[in-house]
Amino acid sequence: MRIYQEADYDAMSRRTAAIIAAEVIRKPDCVLGLATGSTPVGSYRQLVAWQQEGLLSFGTVTTVNLDEYRGLGPDHEQSYRHFMRVNLFDQVDIRPDRTYLPDGLAADPEAECRRYDALVESLGGTDLQLLGMGHNGHIGFNEPGTAFIRETHVVDLTRSTIEANARFFQKKEEVPRQAITMGVGTIMSARRVLVAVSGADKAEAVRRAFCGPITPEVPASILQLHRDVVLVGDVAALSGMREEGVFQ
């Protein structure tokens, strides 16, 4: 695992964006696995700026997102499809028909999970999978539990995840209670995993994920078994790893 410690959120975002941009330049037809939430917003903003400056193109890139809320359509302002359009897709030269997310309105969610796994497999998997990390160590919406679930699946969101996402909704009661998420098997099949973390409130989750035992109680801990993980974090988010002596 490679670790990049940056001074603050802005520096972390630039480093993360640079790694993604390098992949796009290296392999113009790459498959990017993308994430939502507050952490990657700064990185997407930087990628938009570089693309608009003519420094890179997403014209032949394909993207697959980690997850989508169940019950929200693509035009709902809190859907992850909407998030991606606002923060990246509508501002760069990517083709809309090359951007994929699970269908949150699928009548048969189990069939949608199987379809999504087949789609990722048909694309040859992801070349680079971007991940954030929840306060409880979740990646995508793979929540703490008793077993790692390999395939894309429907998940009941934990109270902590619902509370963390409530800031995006007018009322906490409006936060969906379920989501469709890539499983850890699909995430682990990526040729490279890029984890971005920021803030002191993530320090304990990061420490447990990369310095503790591999356990489904900390879903991100499975990344210890991946052959190519890049961790980019600011000083505050990586403080727990420094205390463990992983680096100075």
Residue 62 domain-assigned? yes
Between CA 14 and CA 35, with CA 164 as vertex, the angle to 5 degrees is 40
Least confident of 15-19, 67-71, 172-176, 178-182: 172-176
Ramachandran assignment for 37, one of left (phi > 0), alpha (psi -120 to 50 degrees), beta (any other): left
117 a catalytic residue: no
> Locate tokens 């463990």: which residue?
244
Catalytic residue among 23, 67, 68, 127: 67
The 10s digit of each residue's pLDDT in 120-174 is: 999 999 999 999 999 999 999 999 999 999 999 999 988 888 888 888 888 888 8
Percentage of residues in the chain with pLDDT exceeding 70?
Answer: 100
Residue type, 236: A
Task: Find the catalytic residue in 103, 112, 117, 138.
Answer: 138
The span from the first CA to the last CA of the chain, in angstroms, equals: 15
In eight-state DSSP terms, residue 168 is: G
Average pLDDT over the chain, rounded to an integer: 96
Mean pLDDT of 61-87: 96
Across 93-114, average pLDDT: 98
Cβ atoms of 16 and 196 within 8 Å: the answer is yes
Secondary structure (3-state) at 35 = coil
Rounded to the nearest 5°, which phi and psi values hold at 52?
A: -70, -20
> 3-state class of 199 per DSSP?
coil
> 143, 153, 165, 234: which is the annotated catalytic residue?
143
What average pLDDT does the segment 225-248 reach? 94
How many domains in the chain?
A: 1
Give residue-wise pLDDT tens across range 21-36: 999 999 999 999 999 9
- 67 assigned to active site: yes
Token pair, residue 201, equals 């409130």
Give the pair of three-digit tokens for residue 127. 């070349």
Above pLDDT 90, what percent of the chain?
90
Q: Is 1 helix (H, G, I), strand (E, B) or coil?
A: coil
What pLDDT is attached to residue 31? 98
CA atoms within 13 A on the CB side of 184: 22
Residue 211 pLDDT grade (very low, low, confident, very high; cuts 50, 70, 90): very high
Q: Is the pLDDT of residue 248 over 80?
A: no
Closest CA to 79 of 61, 98, 101: 101
Q: Judge whether 248 lies within some domain.
A: no
Residue 60 has what pLDDT? Answer: 98
SS3 56: coil
pLDDT at 122: 98
Q: Active-site residue 138, yes or no?
A: yes
**Domain region containing 69:** 2-243
- Give whole-number Cα distances, 113 to 44, 66, 162, in Å: 26, 12, 22
The active-site residue out of 87, 136, 142, 165 is: 136
| pTM as predicted | 0.95
Mean of pLDDT values over 48-70: 97
- pLDDT tier at 179 (50, 70, 90 boundaries)? very high
Does 67 reside within a domain?
yes
* CB neighbours of residue 229 within 10 Å: 19
Residues 6+ apart with CB under 8 A from 176: 69, 70, 71, 72, 157
Q: What is the CATH number of the domain that holds 124?
A: 3.40.50.1360
Question: Do the domain assignments include residue 206?
Answer: yes
Average of pLDDT values for 208-212? Answer: 97
Averaged pLDDT, 104-126: 97
Q: Pseudo-torsion of CA 186, 187, 190, 196, nearest 10°? A: 170
CA 12 to chain centre: 15
Determine whether 121 is an active site residue.
no
Tell me which residue of 161, 163, 181 sits closest to 173, measured CA to CA. 163
Q: Region 12-19: what's the mean pLDDT?
A: 98
Confidence of residue 180 (pLDDT cuts 50, 70, 90): very high
